[in-house]
């Protein structure tokens, strides 16, 4: 017996962020408090969404600079639960911009969903004179309903980016996100999604059991930066505190000062996993038999997530 159920429902999960922020002065785009409005309020502020079949759920209410492992666990479980419902076409997640790219990559690695999970946000609070949140939310719903969409995507400023490529590239402008190598996937124009590139095949999902360990027991993975005068002091301080993994954002093609590399090799010899990325905005770190392990084309924050998940899987 076949079901006549139509998959046209979009579930919108709220986590807070600037998109849900408020300020006392409508002309103030920076002196606001994030995560003040619920996700249902955000939806009701976009009248044209009333024509869509939507559900909302408040998973968290925080400024994304304070995103944590426990909230990631809750969010991943909520996403998986709704994706399993046959009537759901896709999901939208409202989020803060500061750590959006990290959450996007985490969800892609853990769930690798066949249905679209579209993360959106805003650079201006909900009380701003020219707020960007409502349009971004409207666009995200359009992407979640588009038959060409799949996986974890970011809809922001009229563009659609993949979880693997998206990065925050500006601290203030409303077009704050870009794809690392310029390859945005699509544009959203008056509610229509125009695809510009093909989605890359997704790696198999790690699954929720991979992140089931209590958040307080997750491995400790830190990010370091190579720069003029970089030495090994921070590495040795982290070793003394019991770090489990280190991602170093090297200069250029992952290059490191002699002093910093020596300290990282000491850490490696003591059983700490070390991965080498780049502080450049785009481009890979090429592998070499004589160099510390490469993160490939992943930037430092996404390389940290990869290492974190690898350490969880090994423990």
Which residues have a catalytic role annotated? 18
C-beta separation of 174 from 157 below 8 A: yes
Q: How many CB atoms lie within 10 A of CB 83?
A: 17
C-beta separation of 308 from 245 below 8 A: yes
C-beta separation of 115 from 90 below 8 A: yes
């Amino acid at each position: 017996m076949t079901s006549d159920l139509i998959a046209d429902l979009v579930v919108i999960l709220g986590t807070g962020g600037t998109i849900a922020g408020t300020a006392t002065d409508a002309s103030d785009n920076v002196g606001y408090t994030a995560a003040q409005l619920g996700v249902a309020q955000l939806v009701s502020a976009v009248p044209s969404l009333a024509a869509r079949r939507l559900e909302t759920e408040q998973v968290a209410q925080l400024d994304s600079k304070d995103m944590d492992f426990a909230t990631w666990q809750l969010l991943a479980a909520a996403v998986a639960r709704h994706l399993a419902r046959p009537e759901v076409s896709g999901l939208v997640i409202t989020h803060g911009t500061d750590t959006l790219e990290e959450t996007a990559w985490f969800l892609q690695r853990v769930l690798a969903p066949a249905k679209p999970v579209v993360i959106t946000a805003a650079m201006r609070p909900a009380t701003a004179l020219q707020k960007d949140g409502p349009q971004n939310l409207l666009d995200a719903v359009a992407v979640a309903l588009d038959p060409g969409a799949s996986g974890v995507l970011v809809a922001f400023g009229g563009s659609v980016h993949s979880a693997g490529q998206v990065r925050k590239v500006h601290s203030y402008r409303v077009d704050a996100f870009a794809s690392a190598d310029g390859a945005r996937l699509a544009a959203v124009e008056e509610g229509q999604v125009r695809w510009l590139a093909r989605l890359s095949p997704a790696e198999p999902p790690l699954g929720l059991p991979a992140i089931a360990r209590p958040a307080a027991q997750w491995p400790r993975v830190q990010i370091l930066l190579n720069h003029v005068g970089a030495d090994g002091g921070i590495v040795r301080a982290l070793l003394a505190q019991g770090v489990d993994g280190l991602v170093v954002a090297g200069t250029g093609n992952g290059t490191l000062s002699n002093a910093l590399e020596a300290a990282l090799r000491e850490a490696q010899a003591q059983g700490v996993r070390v991965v080498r990325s780049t502080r450049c905005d785009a481009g890979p770190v090429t592998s070499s038999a004589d160099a510390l392990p490469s993160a490939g084309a992943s930037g430092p924050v996404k390389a940290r997530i990869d290492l974190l998940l690898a350490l969880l899987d090994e423990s």
